[in-house]
């Protein structure tokens, strides 16, 4: 059995300490320990009441996520929580750290909740495709009202102790948690034999009866922020039951039914795959866990543009002082003012207070002099994609920055080894590919150069965690992971356009599949002129998929930046309007390349674009450029708008079945004759055994086989 609950009696109070490192989930051993502990406390006539707490940094981080989909052993969570709720003696939840999901639900069956100053609570089940299924949907609305409860459950947000106190989720905050909780039990047990139960507090749910507003607002919020997800609707139905059922137990019954429906929905498996995938991605398979990491006390950023500014905000938000260098005073002034405006925007949206803004923005300094980053522990170069410029900057950094500092390049596709080679510290050089806007997007591709040391890699991964990023390691290979996969995806979108589809049809089909933004909206956002200008400069002819985009650029249609691209945009708006004037261009380019336009189904659009991701992904895994299949899923969900509820492209392939994937690849290979659909070796092998991506670990000895072209893959789109 996993986990245990320690039992001791202090000053007439039983202390139950959940011990299941590192975050105390409610595994079978914990559930059994809770049942035994309460039984023991009830049987001991010298015990006045119970204090329930957690060992280490967490109170209870919820149900044991690894148990979902398996047959549970030992007592059920329901049995353990009933034991606590109906204990004949008062029970205090002494919340020492995180009380999340089933952890908060455990606290809600206790008679009282006292928190330490560092505690935080939340019901984040929605992020796992689930709902709070241990009474959370029925009890939280009774404590804080249905509207606040829905907000917490639909966002999955963490609520810190002070706020939780003001909302009424906890009763007190104490510095000396256990000592004060013991005193609390001594007091309440001498005052009364009846202790409050959240299930009996009906006022707030009854108040909400007869008005649809709360539920309608929740539905609107879920439609906007959790498009395509199954669990939010189930959560809303549970709260509806909490509001309308006269008997608390009827609401609980409904919650149980809706929970099972979530549990068996494929979205649950997909989202839990990503939960564990993100945590696995943060570990590097051939670097020992105990590898020392450098202490990063100050960061430097070279370049005050959109990327540099966004990266600087990430450090400041994590409490790390950051200094920005730019060679141009006007650029720097503009960059700093954009950062300040971003923080002001957050204050206006109620996401931070004015004081928080002052203290965070106060961590960002700037100047024109490289000497000012000489004392930094890490310096990240974030200038535009030009190898000569980057090498020049790294030469300077190598001279001025202290010798043991890490130097990182925010390149999206250049050769990190070439950049490292101009320094005298290649072992301290690494790629850190942030995604724009860097202060918002969670993905961080950490590019491992052939000489990057274990300590450098471990340090950068730990920095990623401090910056709250989903960090994924890629070997130093063209396009790394994300842009290499994107290349085939956008190429297919462009080929579909040449073959007869229109941009809005392609975008709508992929957005209905769940992509947050269709490829043509994305290309308009990035700017069609990037690749076009690069090709003009180098005198290269566009490949077939780039021909329409280049033709649009010839007509000054660069995308959102000048209000016209694949779509038209009204001034100041990002909403795409169809551009019928482009249709003649599509027809002309198709005809000029001997392509007969035809009717194309939405199914073909989705199949071809998503198969392109999967097939390239299979090669990336087999080459060892990505460590494991789930890493690619983490990349696509956090950096490219792939729907989390489908678990990423590789999980989607697993869910589809490898034989089906192979059959479709063969079908589109036959139809298009494109190498994009020539089935990857790994897919053929897996289809033979009905296997899945993730069954075999990626190879680790492929570094020498990677050939790197100096051109950025993004520039070729």
CB closer to ligand 3HC out of 126 and 379: 126
Determine, following the binding rule CB under 6 A, whether residue 600 of this chain makes contact with ligand 3HC: no
Determine, following the binding rule CB under 6 A, whether residue 503 of this chain makes contact with ligand 3HC: no
Q: Determine the interface stretch with ligand 3HC among 31-39, 111-119, 129-137, 669-677 (rule: CB under 6 A).
A: 129-137
Q: Determine the interface stretch with ligand 3HC among 22-30, 314-322, 566-574, 593-601 (rule: CB under 6 A).
A: 22-30
Cα 608–Cα 612–Cα 618 angle in degrees, nearest 5: 140
Determine, following the binding rule CB under 6 A, whether residue 29 of this chain makes contact with ligand 3HC: no
Residue pair 414/390 in contact by the 8 Å Cβ criterion:
yes
Phi, psi (rounded to 5 degrees) for 59 = -80, -75
499 is catalytic: no
Determine, following the binding rule CB under 6 A, whether residue 251 of this chain makes contact with ligand 3HC: no
One residue of 132, 145, 531, 549 binding ligand 3HC per CB under 6 A:
132
CB closer to ligand 3HC out of 94 and 272: 272
Token pair 């024109």: residue: 368
Alpha-carbon distances, residue 229 vs 62, 127, 294, 443, 644 (angstroms): 21, 10, 40, 21, 9
One residue of 2, 12, 19, 23 binding ligand 3HC per CB under 6 A:
23
Report d(CA 58, CA 56) in Å as an integer: 6
**Shortest Cβ distance from residue 160 to ligand 3HC (Å)?**
12
CB closer to ligand 3HC out of 134 and 528: 134
Q: Which of 42, 73, 125, 623 is catalytic?
A: 125
Determine, following the binding rule CB under 6 A, whether residue 61 of this chain makes contact with ligand 3HC: yes
Residue with nearest beta carbon to ligand 3HC = 101
* Complete edge-to-edge strand list for the sheet that includes strand 13-19: 4-10, 13-19, 49-54, 91-95, 112-115, 172-173
Residue pair 542/535 in contact by the 8 Å Cβ criterion:
yes
Determine, following the binding rule CB under 6 A, whether residue 129 of this chain makes contact with ligand 3HC: no
Determine, following the binding rule CB under 6 A, whether residue 235 of this chain makes contact with ligand 3HC: no
CB closer to ligand 3HC out of 137 and 415: 137
In 318-447, where does DSSP find H-type helix? 329-348, 354-361, 387-400, 416-421
381 is catalytic: no
Using alpha carbons, select from 535, 540, 545, 687 the residue that is nearest to residue 608.
545
Determine, following the binding rule CB under 6 A, whether residue 269 of this chain makes contact with ligand 3HC: no
The secondary element (H helix, E strand) that includes residue 430 is: strand 429-434
One residue of 54, 124, 519, 545 binding ligand 3HC per CB under 6 A:
124
Q: Determine the interface stretch with ligand 3HC among 111-119, 125-133, 388-396, 544-552 (rule: CB under 6 A).
A: 125-133
3-class DSSP state for residue 120?
A: strand
Using alpha carbons, select from 229, 152, 274, 139 the residue that is nearest to residue 652.
274
Contacting ligand 3HC within 275-334 (CB under 6 A): 276, 279
Using alpha carbons, select from 549, 544, 506, 510 the residue that is nearest to residue 526.
549
Instruction: Count Cα neighbours of 492 within 13 Å in the Cβ-side half-sphere.
Output: 31
β-pair partners for 9:
14
Q: Determine the interface stretch with ligand 3HC among 20-28, 174-182, 399-407, 649-657 (rule: CB under 6 A).
A: 20-28
Positions marked catalytic = 105, 125
Q: Which residues bind ligand 3HC (CB under 6 A)?
A: 22-23, 25, 58, 61-66, 98, 100-102, 105, 124-125, 128, 130, 132-134, 136, 276, 279
């Amino acid at each position: 059995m996993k986990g245990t609950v320690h039992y001791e009696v202090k000053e007439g109070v039983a202390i139950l300490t959940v011990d299941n490192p590192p975050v105390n989930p409610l595994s079978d051993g914990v559930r059994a320990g809770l049942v035994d502990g309460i039984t023991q406390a009830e049987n001991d006539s010298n015990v006045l009441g119970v204090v329930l707490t957690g060992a280490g940094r967490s109170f209870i981080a919820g149900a044991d996520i690894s148990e979902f989909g398996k047959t549970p052993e030992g007592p059920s969570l329901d049995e353990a929580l009933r034991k606590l709720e109906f204990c004949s003696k008062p029970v205090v939840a002494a919340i020492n750290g995180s009380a999340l999901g089933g952890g908060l639900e455990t606290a809600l069956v206790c008679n009282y909740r006292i928190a330490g100053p560092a505690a935080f609570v939340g019901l984040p089940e929605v992020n796992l495709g689930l709902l709070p299924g241990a009474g959370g949907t029925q009890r939280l609305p009774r404590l804080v009202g249905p509207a606040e409860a829905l907000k917490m459950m639909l966002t999955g947000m963490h609520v810190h102790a002070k706020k939780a106190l003001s909302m009424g989720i906890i009763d007190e905050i104490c510095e000396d948690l256990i000592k004060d909780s013991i005193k609390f039990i001594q007091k309440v047990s001498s005052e009364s034999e009846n202790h409050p139960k959240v299930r009996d507090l009906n006022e707030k749910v009854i108040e909400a009866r007869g008005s649809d507003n709360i539920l309608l607002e929740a539905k609107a919020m879920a439609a906007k922020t959790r498009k395509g997800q199954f669990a939010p609707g189930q959560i809303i139905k549970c709260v509806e039951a909490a509001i309308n059922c006269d008997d608390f137990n009827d609401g609980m019954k409904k919650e149980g039914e809706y929970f099972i429906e979530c549990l068996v929905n494929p979205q649950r498996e997909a989202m839990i795959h990503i939960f564990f995938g993100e945590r696995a991605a943060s570990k590097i398979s051939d670097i020992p866990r105990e590898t020392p990491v450098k202490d990063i006390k100050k960061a430097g950023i070279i370049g005050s543009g959109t990327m540099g500014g966004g990266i600087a905000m990430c450090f400041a938000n994590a409490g790390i002082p950051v200094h920005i260098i730019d060679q141009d005073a006007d650029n720097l002034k503009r960059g700093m003012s954009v950062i300040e405006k971003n923080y002001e925007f957050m204050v206006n949206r109620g996401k931070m207070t004015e004081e928080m803004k002052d203290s965070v923005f106060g961590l960002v300094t700037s100047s024109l002099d490289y000497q000012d980053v000489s004392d930094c522990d890490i310096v990240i170069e974030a200038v535009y994609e030009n190898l000569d410029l980057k090498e020049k900057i790294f030469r300077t950094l190598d001279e001025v920055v202290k010798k043991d500092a890490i130097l990182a390049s925010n390149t999206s596709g250049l050769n990190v080894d070439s950049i490292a080679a101009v320094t005298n510290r290649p072992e301290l050089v690494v790629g850190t590919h942030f995604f724009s806007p860097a202060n918002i997007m969670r993905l961080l591709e950490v590019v491992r150069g052939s000489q990057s040391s274990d300590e450098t890699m471990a340090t950068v991964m730990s920095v990623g965690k401090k910056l709250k990023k989903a960090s994924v390691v890629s070997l130093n290979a063209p396009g790394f992971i994300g842009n290499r996969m994107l290349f085939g995806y956008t190429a297919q979108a462009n080929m579909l356009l040449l073959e007869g589809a229109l941009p809005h049809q392609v975008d709508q089909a992929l957005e209905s599949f769940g992509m947050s933004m269709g490829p043509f909206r994305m290309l308009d956002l990035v700017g069609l002129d990037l690749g076009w200008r690069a090709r003009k400069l180098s005198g290269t002819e566009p490949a077939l998929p780039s021909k329409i985009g280049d033709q649009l650029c010839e007509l000054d249609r660069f995308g959102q930046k000048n209000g016209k691209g694949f779509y038209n945009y009204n001034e100041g708006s990002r909403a795409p309007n169809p551009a019928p004037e482009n249709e003649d261009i599509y027809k002309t380019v198709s005809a000029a390349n001997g392509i007969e336009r035809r009717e194309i189904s939405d199914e073909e659009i989705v199949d071809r674009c998503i198969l392109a991701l999967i097939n390239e992904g299979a090669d990336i895994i087999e080459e060892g450029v990505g460590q494991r299949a789930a890493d690619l899923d983490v990349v696509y969900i956090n950096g490219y708008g792939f729907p989390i509820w489908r678990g990423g492209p590789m999980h989607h392939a697993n869910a589809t079945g490898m034989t089906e994937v192979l059959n479709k690849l063969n079908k589109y290979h036959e139809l298009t004759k494109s190498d994009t659909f020539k089935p990857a070796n790994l897919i053929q092998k897996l289809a033979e055994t009905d296997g899945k991506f993730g069954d075999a670990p990626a190879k680790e000895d492929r570094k020498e086989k990677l050939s790197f072209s100096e051109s950025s893959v993004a520039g070729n789109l």
